Amino acid sequence: MTDPRELVSLLETLCPMFLLVDQNGCIQQAGPTLQKLRPDLQLVGQGFLDVFELIRPRTVTTIPALMSMARAKLHLKFHDEPRTALKGLVAPLPHSGGAVINLSFGISILDAVRDYALTSADFSGTDLAIELLYLVEAKSAAMEASRSLNLRLQGAMLAAEEQAYTDTLTGLKNRRAMDHVLAHMISANSAFALMHLDLDFFKSVNDRLGHAAGDFVLQQAARIMLEETRDNDTVARVGGDEFVIVFKGLTREDTLEAIAGRLIQRLNEPMLFQNQKCSVSASIGTALSTQFQVLKAADILHAADLALYQAKRDGRSCHRLYSTLTNARP
């Protein structure tokens, strides 16, 4: 006959969630993992049915009935919290009248690992639960890696979209962005004003001081336009020294005249680049979306161009409204 101590050692190795009970259902030995589930309760000496509630088979309510359940699967839970669900198998010991009851978590293993901080050391080395834990861990790691990759891809996509709509020299919107804004406002039937601004004498700055000075002037002009407009307005560089400002919801001509006046005044002030004065001015033409019965982007852009050309013909460094032109056709 196997020495009882050898039997217990064998069971601890192969079945770390075993219970050794006597013929009266009193727990004689408990596997280390099972004891870990109830660290404050000494399982040895407790009655099996005092610790566990049998869920199935429902007909088993006594120890003799339990002992007769050889090879039948048991479904049980702890009486106290947390009421972890367990599965069991009874193996009677022929000479002692007792039995070995081997327990497992079944599909509750993930909850158990979380609730009791179990590790691979708490299971038999051949237990398929270990494989499941590794698969879950691998899946979690893969999902986390996937989420991280998706976030990076989204960030890269947003950065690429932002770059596609941005003028790299000035940081303003570009023509593509302006076209997108105009299409959106027109489709939404929003009222707006479109201001076309051209820097006068910019070519002479480039010719006299070089392209670095010209780039500096464009950057300073962009800064001034941003400072004189609102956050929900769109300032775009649409050509070498040409800019378009779209004023959302603003169609008051007196207000637009005042904004254009401030822009002209500030852009007329000489800019210093490496101790050299860079002198430009600004000619501006403005058209209103409300001047058109059927509005198209090309039409309002053309109207603002006509007003701009009139400002240049009138001596530059001034602002003209399309509505004041004698050949205006709203």
185: CB partners within 8 A, 6+ apart? 192, 246, 248, 289
Per-residue pLDDT tens for 5-27?
Answer: 777 777 777 778 888 888 888 99
Phi, psi of 199 (to 5 degrees): -80, 120
Per-residue pLDDT tens for 272-307?
Answer: 999 999 999 999 999 999 999 999 999 999 999 999
Instruction: Select the CATH number that applies to the domain covering 175-324 from these four: 3.40.50.620, 3.30.70.270, 3.40.50.10490, 3.40.190.10.
Output: 3.30.70.270
pLDDT at 1: 46
Per-residue pLDDT tens for 93-139?
Answer: 877 778 888 888 876 777 777 777 777 677 776 666 666 666 666 66
**Distance of alpha carbon 233 from alpha carbon 204, whole angstroms:** 30
Establish whether the linkage from the previous residue to 82 is cis, with ω within 30° of 0. yes
**Distance of alpha carbon 145 from alpha carbon 151, whole angstroms:** 10
Which among 105, 111, 100 is positioned nearest to 127, based on CA atoms? 105
Most confident segment among 57-61, 129-133, 198-202: 198-202
Q: Where are the beta strands (DSSP E) in 162-233?
A: 192-200
| Architecture in CATH of 4-123 | 2-Layer Sandwich (3.30)
DSSP letter (8 states) at residue 120:
G
The DSSP-derived string for 122-151 is GS-TT-HHHHHHHHHHHHHHHHHHHHHHHH
What angle, 0 to 180 degrees and rounded to 10, lies between the N-to-C axes of helices 211-227 and 202-209? 140
3-state secondary structure 43-104: CCCCEHHHHEEEEECCCCCCHHHHHCCECCEEEEEECCCCCCEEEEEEEECCCCCCEEEEEE
Which among 31, 153, 45 is positioned nearest to 103, based on CA atoms? 31
How does residue 188 score in pLDDT terms, banded at 50, 70 and 90? very high
Q: Which residues are the active-site residues?
A: 241
**Distance of alpha carbon 261 from alpha carbon 267, whole angstroms:** 10
Phi, psi of 88 (to 5 degrees): -145, 160
